[in-house]
């Protein structure tokens, strides 16, 4: 019990409190994995068990969600700029909703930017987020209405994305379903009709 409490107090509790912050999830998951790997020098068995469990939940380090820090107020402009540049990278050969548990041997010295590719734009397409601000200087984003609107939409995902893997998969399905039902710029009347049709 003492060994488990030591791990919880020194590593886990910080990330547990930060879990509802969707925009910080990729950064926090990666940092927690790195700290857990380092915890091997304190308690190899506890670190191994914790890391194995965490590797089963690598949703936020997938290409689809790795760009979430773009909408965080706690991420520096330089880091956001690096993510924007990474959006030009070729995607992985296989389109995975989450990384395979053993796909990455070690997480030390990695950054969230390394998980971002062109496929990360799926997030923008699925949620119908504007992309024009990506071409603007990062230090002007907070003054832009399109960025503020996108940020508000992403922040609203916090509850859905942090509760369970099942809800996360359901979210993907619901978003895809509604994208097919709605036109590019739906009117209020069209939204009401779509709601009625899907009940």
Query: How many domains does one find in the chain?
Result: 2
pLDDT in tens, 98-154: 788 888 999 999 999 999 999 999 889 888 899 999 999 999 999 999 999 999 999
- Beta carbons of 66 and 32 less than 8 angstroms apart: no
- Quote the pLDDT of residue 59: 85
Residues 147 and 169 in one domain: no
Q: Rg for the chain (alpha carbons), in Å? A: 18
- Check: CB of residue 126 under 8 Å from CB of residue 179: yes
On whether both 101 and 189 belong to a single domain, the answer is no
State the number of CA atoms in the 13 A half-sphere of 99 facing the CB: 23
The pLDDT assigned to 57 comes to 87
Distance (Å, rounded) from C-alpha 105 to C-alpha 101? 9
Domain shared by 49 and 146, yes or no: yes
Do 55 and 72 share a domain, yes or no?
yes
Q: Print the domain residue range for 183.
A: 164-199
Domain match, 85 and 29 both = yes
**How high is the pLDDT of residue 97?**
74
Q: Indicate if the pLDDT at residue 2 is higher than 50.
A: yes
Tell me: the pLDDT tens digits for 4-63? 999 999 999 999 888 888 899 999 999 999 999 999 999 999 999 999 999 998 988 999
Residues 120 and 192 occupy one common structural domain = no
Same domain membership, residue 73 and residue 107: yes
* CB contact set of 165 (below 8 Å; sequence gap of 6+): 57, 59
Q: Report yes or no: 27 and 112 within 8 Å, Cβ to Cβ.
A: yes
Pair (176, 144) in one structural domain = no
Residues 52 and 36 in one domain: yes
For 47, what's the count of Cα atoms within 13 Å in the CB-facing half-sphere? Answer: 14
Q: The pTM is what?
A: 0.75
What one-character DSSP code corresponds to residue 8? Answer: I
- Asked whether residue 41 falls in the same domain as residue 112, the answer is yes
Domain check: are 144 and 169 in the same one?
no
Looking at residue 191, its pLDDT comes to 44
pLDDT in tens, 155-195: 887 655 545 566 556 555 655 555 565 555 444 454 444 44
Looking at the structure, tell me whether residues 148 and 188 fall in a common domain: no
């Amino acid at each position: 019990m003492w060994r488990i409490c030591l791990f919880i107090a020194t590593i886990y509790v910080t990330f547990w409190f930060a879990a509802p912050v969707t925009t910080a999830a990729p950064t926090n998951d990666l940092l927690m994995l790195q700290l857990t790997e380092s915890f091997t020098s304190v308690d190899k068995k506890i670190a191994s068990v914790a890391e194995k469990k965490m590797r089963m939940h690598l949703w936020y380090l997938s290409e689809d969600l790795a760009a979430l820090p773009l909408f965080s107020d706690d991420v520096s402009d330089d880091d956001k700029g690096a993510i924007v540049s990474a959006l030009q990278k070729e995607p992985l050969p296989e389109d995975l909703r989450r990384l395979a548990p053993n796909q990455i041997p070690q997480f030390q010295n990695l950054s969230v930017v390394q998980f971002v590719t062109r496929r990360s734009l799926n997030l923008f397409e699925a949620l119908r987020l504007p992309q024009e601000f990506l071409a603007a200087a990062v230090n002007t984003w907070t003054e832009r209405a399109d960025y503020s609107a996108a940020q508000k939409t992403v922040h609203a995902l916090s509850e859905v994305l942090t509760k369970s893997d099942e809800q996360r998969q359901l979210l993907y399905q619901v978003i895809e379903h509604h994208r097919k039902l709605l036109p590019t710029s739906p009117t209020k009347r069209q939204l009401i009709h779509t709601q009625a049709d899907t009940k």
